[in-house]
Structure 1
């Protein structure tokens, strides 16, 4: 069996490196924490803080369009959208766009059977 005494690089590594992440990484703000700070600073000016959060995770297409319209005037719209794309949000309205399974889709289709024939765009 090898022990740190038998392998000098192991004993030096454990003696010099502290457990856990380096302090430098902990002091660097991430894009998400910066966005959270901006949301807190703006408060009621951000629609997702002044409206019911359920609106942004609605099921009906009309409610989804309403949530997207609320986001249009948000001062953090672009940052919110970029963050959602980076995180591949599974669903909901983020930055004025609808996410379904981590991908932006143009609109939500109502429940029902899918079309038999494709529709020309």
Structure 2
């Protein structure tokens, strides 16, 4: 879990500069990777107030992120979004 944040924060790619402004980088990463069947409520509430939510979701969709909450959506929600697009 933390490895994901280290990879994103550690990159010099300007396209990833949104990550430094994300609220999730300032909170406990455990909330964004709940156990199977665990609550996603805390992570989604944080995402609601994040200024880079759209960039985060775009990243997750473009990179086929299969775990965690990205841009306020779970993997199941992102899968549904892909199907409807």
Shorter-chain TM-score: what band?
Answer: 0.5 to 0.7
The answer for unaligned runs of 5 or more in structure 1 is 1-32, 106-121
Specify which structure has the bigger relative contact order, considering alpha-carbon pairs within 8 angstroms and separated by 6 or more residues.
2
> 1:52 and 1:35 mapped to 2: Cα distance?
24
- Pick the aligned partner of 1:56 from 1, 19, 32: 32
The answer for unaligned runs of 5 or more in structure 2 is 1-12
Q: Which has the larger radius of gyration?
A: 1
Superposition pairs of residues 64-103 of structure 1, within 5 angstroms: 64-100=40-76, 103=79
Q: What do residues 30-75 of structure 1 show as CA deviations (whole Å, max 9, x unaligned)?
A: xxx33432332x3xxx22111111110012443x121111101111
> 2:33 and 2:73 mapped to 1: Cα distance?
12
1:39 aligned partner = 19
Distance 1:53 1:104, change over 3 A: farther
Which structure dedicates a bigger proportion of its chain to helix? 2
Aligned residues: 68
Q: Normalising by the residue count of structure 2, what TM-score does the alignment of the two structures yield?
A: 0.65
CA RMSD across the alignment = 2.4
Indicate the SS of the match to 2:51: coil
